[in-house]
C-alpha cells in the first residue's frame, strides 16, 4: 500500500532543511571569518575559516562548502523535530487509506428486508448504500406519494442481488441525519453500488459528496459511472424537489 508521503520525499525534505540551515550559518557567520593559508601554499584559491570552524573553498569565484561543523547539536535537533512532523503527516495519510482495507462485516441474508434501490433494512437498522442515488419509490413518511420512473425496478434489482449473493458484507461509515447507516455494501466481493450503476439504475454521488475517506472504493464507483451510459431517469434529488411534500410547506 502506498503512503501519502513516500519516504524518498521525506528524505528529500530533510536534506533541504539541512541545506537551508547550512546556508543560514554561512551567511550569518561569514562576517567573523578570517583568511587561511592555502594548503598547498602560495596564491590561488583559498579558504575562509570562521569561529564555528565553517570552511569555504573559493575556486575561480565559486564558493564550495568543503566541510560543515557548525553547532551540530542545533541542526540535529531541528531535523529530529522536522522528521517527527513529516512522519505524523504520513501516518495521517495512511489512516485515510486504511479505511479501504478495514475488516468487512458479514451480513446474515435472512435478516435483510427490502426498501428502495439504494437502501435496505437489516435487523433493527437501515443501511444506505454509499456512493450512489437510486430513483425514489413511495415513502409517505418522507413526503413521497408516487414512484419515480425506474424506482421500483431499481428496488427489485437491489433486493434480488442481495438475496441471490453467496456473501453479503459491508463497511460502515456513519449515520446520516435520518439515522440510516451509510455503508459500502459488497456482494460476492464486489461493490453493490457498481452493479446498480452499470445497470443504469443509479447515479454516482462521489463527485458531489467526496470519497468519505474511502478513496479507492470511490474510484471504482467513478470508473463505473464513466464507463456506463447515463441512467434513463431524472436525477433523484431534482425529482424530489418537484414531487416531495415537505412538512413545513
Hey, what long-range contacts does 83-87 have (CB within 8 A, 24 or more apart)? 83/10, 83/14, 86/5, 86/10, 86/13, 86/14, 87/10
**Which tens digit of pLDDT belongs to each residue from 165-190?**
999 999 999 999 999 999 999 999 99
Average pLDDT estimate for 6-24: 62
The kind and range of the H/E element at 187 are strand 181-187
Average pLDDT estimate for 83-103: 55
Residues 212 and 71: their CA atoms lie apart, in Å, by 47
Q: Which of 99, 127, 146 is the last residue of a domain?
A: 99
Average pLDDT estimate for 5-11: 58
Provide the residue range defining the domain that includes 29: 7-99
Same domain? For 30 and 142 the reply is no
Same domain? For 48 and 110 the reply is no
- For residue 208, give every residue at least 6 positions away whose Cβ sits within 8 Å of its Cβ, in sequence order, or none: none
Grid cell for residue 156: 427489485
Count of structural domains within the chain: 2
For residue 103, name the pLDDT band (cuts at 50, 70, 90): confident
Residues 95 and 93: their CA atoms lie apart, in Å, by 5
Write the DSSP string, 146-184: SPPTTHHHHHHHHHHHHHH-S-EEEEEEEE-TTSPEEEE
Same domain? For 76 and 137 the reply is no
Residue 161 has pLDDT above 80, yes or no: yes
1 in a domain, yes or no?
A: no
Same domain? For 67 and 180 the reply is no
Query: Do residues 183 and 127 make contact, with C-beta atoms less than 8 angstroms apart?
Result: yes
Same domain? For 83 and 184 the reply is no
Burial letters for 207-221: b for 16+ Cβ neighbours within 10 Å, e otherwise?
A: eeeebbebeebbebb
Same domain? For 177 and 207 the reply is yes
SS3 73: helix
Same domain? For 112 and 229 the reply is yes
Q: How many CB atoms lie within 10 A of CB 88?
A: 9
Same domain? For 117 and 188 the reply is yes
Q: How many CA atoms within 13 Å lie on the side-chain side of 178?
A: 10
Same domain? For 79 and 166 the reply is no
Residues 205 and 226: their CA atoms lie apart, in Å, by 12
Same domain? For 227 and 195 the reply is yes
Share of the chain above pLDDT 70, in %: 58
Amino acid at each position: 500500500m502506498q503512503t501519502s508521503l513516500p519516504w524518498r520525499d521525506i528524505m528529500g525534505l530533510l536534506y533541504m532543511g539541512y541545506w537551508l540551515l547550512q546556508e543560514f550559518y554561512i551567511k550569518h557567520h561569514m562576517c567573523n571569518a578570517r583568511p587561511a593559508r592555502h594548503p598547498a601554499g602560495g596564491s590561488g584559491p583559498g579558504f575562509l575559516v570562521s569561529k564555528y570552524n565553517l570552511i569555504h573553498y573559493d575556486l575561480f569565484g565559486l564558493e564550495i562548502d568543503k566541510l560543515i561543523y557548525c553547532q551540530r547539536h542545533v541542526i540535529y535537533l531541528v531535523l529530529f523535530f522536522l522528521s517527527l512532523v513529516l512522519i505524523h503527516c504520513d501516518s495521517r495519510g495512511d489512516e485515510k487509506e486504511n479505511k479501504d482495507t478495514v475488516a468487512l462485516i458479514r451480513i446474515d441474508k435472512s435478516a435483510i428486508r427490502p426498501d428502495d434501490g439504494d437502501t435496505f433494512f437489516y435487523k433493527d437498522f437501515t443501511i444506505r448504500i454509499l456512493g450512489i442515488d437510486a430513483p425514489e419509490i413511495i415513502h409517505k413518511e418522507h413526503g413521497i406519494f408516487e414512484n419515480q420512473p425506474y424506482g421500483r425496478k431499481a428496488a427489485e434489482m437491489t433486493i434480488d442481488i442481495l438475496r441471490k449473493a453467496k456473501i453479503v458484507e459491508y463497511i460502515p461509515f456513519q449515520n446520516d441525519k435520518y439515522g440510516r447507516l451509510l455503508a459500502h455494501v459488497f456482494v460476492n466481493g464486489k461493490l453493490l453500488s457498481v452493479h446498480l450503476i452499470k445497470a443504469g439504475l443509479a447515479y454516482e454521488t462521489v463527485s458531489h459528496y467526496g470519497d468519505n475517506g474511502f478513496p479507492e472504493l470511490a474510484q471504482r464507483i467513478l470508473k463505473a459511472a464513466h464507463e456506463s451510459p447515463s441512467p434513463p431517469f431524472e436525477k433523484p434529488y431534482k425529482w424530489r424537489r418537484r414531487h416531495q411534500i415537505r412538512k413545513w410547506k
